[in-house]
Amino acid sequence: MAAHPQADLMHDYAYPLPMGVLCELLGVPLPDRDVFHHWVEARMSNDPARIMQSAPALLAYLRQLVDGKREAPGEDLLTDLVHASDEEGSLTPQELVSTTFLLLVAGHETTVNLIGNGTLALLQHPRQLDALRTDRSLMPAAIEELLRYEGPVNTASLRYTTEPVEIGGVLIPAHQAVAVALTSANRDDLQFPDPTRLDITRATTGHIAFGHGIHYCVGARLARMEAEIAFSALLDRFPDTRLACEADALSWHGTMFRGLRALPVHLTRAQP
């Protein structure tokens, strides 16, 4: 990005960073990363033709990666999962591949959108951005507020009612699938006063951007760490980042996830 005065922050920054982290985590060899990224992106697109094309290639690659870790164990999570499957029998071979796939799905687009949505929210609130720029100790609280204010995941994993449940005067019968609207709950004014206001110093306890209970996001700590690194590096390297278009012109996508298709920004490099 540093070579150009303008960038698409989604394409140039938000997408590559979490993909690099996932590749490190799973032990995807460096030369394979571009094609791997291409398959994952295609598989996660909304285009049936691209999905049909990429899914078998991605699956075959994951199987081959698993076999490779068996022959030559590495210092990575996939090696640990292979060990758990082969030695401890806690995952079937099918579960091993599907768990790897789940990590890719759950660990990529989500973090991408935290970086994208969070950056946009900060650029639209210059006073909050200034406060964060001058006092970096506000970063952890800012990330929680950005998760609450413009979270990357709209709905939790589906829940099923085992008995009739009444919520807010609405009766949900037994044996129904329930999609919990996380982004809506995070703007509940009973929990968060003046919920549509971004305030990086507010108390955010109780936000459910990472879900709740037994299926609470297993990657929450990693995601927070990635966001902290991403926002800090952006503030350090390009302290005067500005939107390069009207916010109304930005296009959003997603049903389960919520994110920007592109985020054009003007960049000014920090003086050495």
DSSP assignment of 7-69:
EEHIIIIITHHHHHHHHHHHT--GGGHHHHHHHHHHHTSS-HHHHHHHHHHHHHHHHHHHHHH
> Which region, judged by CB under 6 A, interacts with ligand HEM, from 119-127, 145-153, 163-171, 244-252?
145-153
Between 69 and 207, name the residue whose CB sits nearer to ligand HEM: 207
Residue 171 to residue 46: CA distance in whole angstroms = 33
Between 144 and 267, name the residue whose CB sits nearer to ligand HEM: 144
Between 157 and 161, name the residue whose CB sits nearer to ligand HEM: 157
153 binding ligand HEM? (CB under 6 A): yes
Give yes or no for a contact between 28 and 65, defined as CB atoms under 8 angstroms apart: yes
The single residue among 131, 138, 222, 225 that binds ligand HEM, judged by CB under 6 A, is: 222
Contact positions with ligand HEM (CB under 6 A) in 166-205: 182
Between 217 and 265, name the residue whose CB sits nearer to ligand HEM: 217
211 binding ligand HEM? (CB under 6 A): yes
Which residues lie below 8 Å from residue 156, measured CB to CB, with a gap of 6+? 179, 180, 182, 208, 211, 212, 215
Between 117 and 128, name the residue whose CB sits nearer to ligand HEM: 117
The single residue among 145, 152, 241, 265 that binds ligand HEM, judged by CB under 6 A, is: 152
167: Cα separation from own chain's centroid = 29
The single residue among 197, 215, 261, 269 that binds ligand HEM, judged by CB under 6 A, is: 215
156 binding ligand HEM? (CB under 6 A): yes
Contact positions with ligand HEM (CB under 6 A) in 70-129: 102-103, 106-107, 110-111, 114
Give yes or no for a contact between 235 and 91, defined as CB atoms under 8 angstroms apart: no
To ligand HEM, the closest distance from the beta carbon of 8 in angstroms equals: 20
The single residue among 6, 216, 245, 261 that binds ligand HEM, judged by CB under 6 A, is: 216
DSSP assignment of 154-189:
SBPSPEE-SS-EEETTEEEPTT-EE--BHHHHTT-T
CB-based burial label for 115 (10 Å; 0-12, 13-18, 19+)? buried
Residues of the shown chain interacting with ligand HEM in the complex, contacts defined by CB under 6 A:
102-103, 106-107, 110-111, 114, 151-153, 156-157, 182, 209-213, 215-219, 222-223
